[in-house]
Amino acid sequence: MRKVDKKFCIKFIGYWTLNALVLSLADSLFPDMFELGNEYITTPSAAVFSGFFLTVLLFMAKGLAKTFNLNKKGRYAMFLYYWLAASAGIWLTARAADVSGFGVSRFTWALACGFAISFSNWLARQAFKGIN
């Protein structure tokens, strides 16, 4: 049986919580541009599920970057990659609004929210560097 890596679990739950908070904040600050919840899913449930889905997509993007050796291109290139990956993840999550409960009015707002997600995840990554 495979052991679960404790650091991975802490990081995953931390990113999941952070992504859900950023999506909730975007919905609160820009209610005409973002929507959390629908007739089937409550707002808190939509934030939790959308944050989870986005976190899974971003962890997949991280694995893809390692596979294609993109992580050796430099900090700015990697931030741009994660920004585009987060924006695409937000857009994909919004396209599944019936299931996720998250919607966005335009792709440009997904780019803006993707920047906020990437920046907050970068800050969290700096904080997680100290975890042993």
Could you identify the residue written with the tokens 């390692």? 66
Q: How far apart are CA 108 and CA 58, in angstroms?
A: 19
1 pLDDT exceeds 70? Answer: no
CA angle 13, 55, 60 (to 5 degrees): 120
Q: Which letter, b or e, does each residue of 70-105 get, where b requires 16 or more Cβ atoms within 10 Å of its Cβ?
A: beeeeeeebeebbbebbbbbbbebbeebeebbbbbe
| Per-residue pLDDT, 75 | 86
For the residues 78-104, what does the mean pLDDT come to?
A: 94
Share of the chain above pLDDT 90, in %: 76
pTM for the complete prediction? 0.91
Q: Is the pLDDT of residue 118 over 80?
A: yes
How does pLDDT run across 44-88, given as a tens digit for each residue? 999 999 999 999 999 999 999 888 888 777 889 899 999 999 999
Q: What is the pLDDT of residue 132?
A: 59
At 58 the pLDDT is 96
Check whether 13 has a pLDDT greater than 70.
yes
Contact criterion met (CB below 8 Å) for 70 and 81: yes
Average pLDDT over the chain reads 92
Tokens read off for 123 = 């800050």
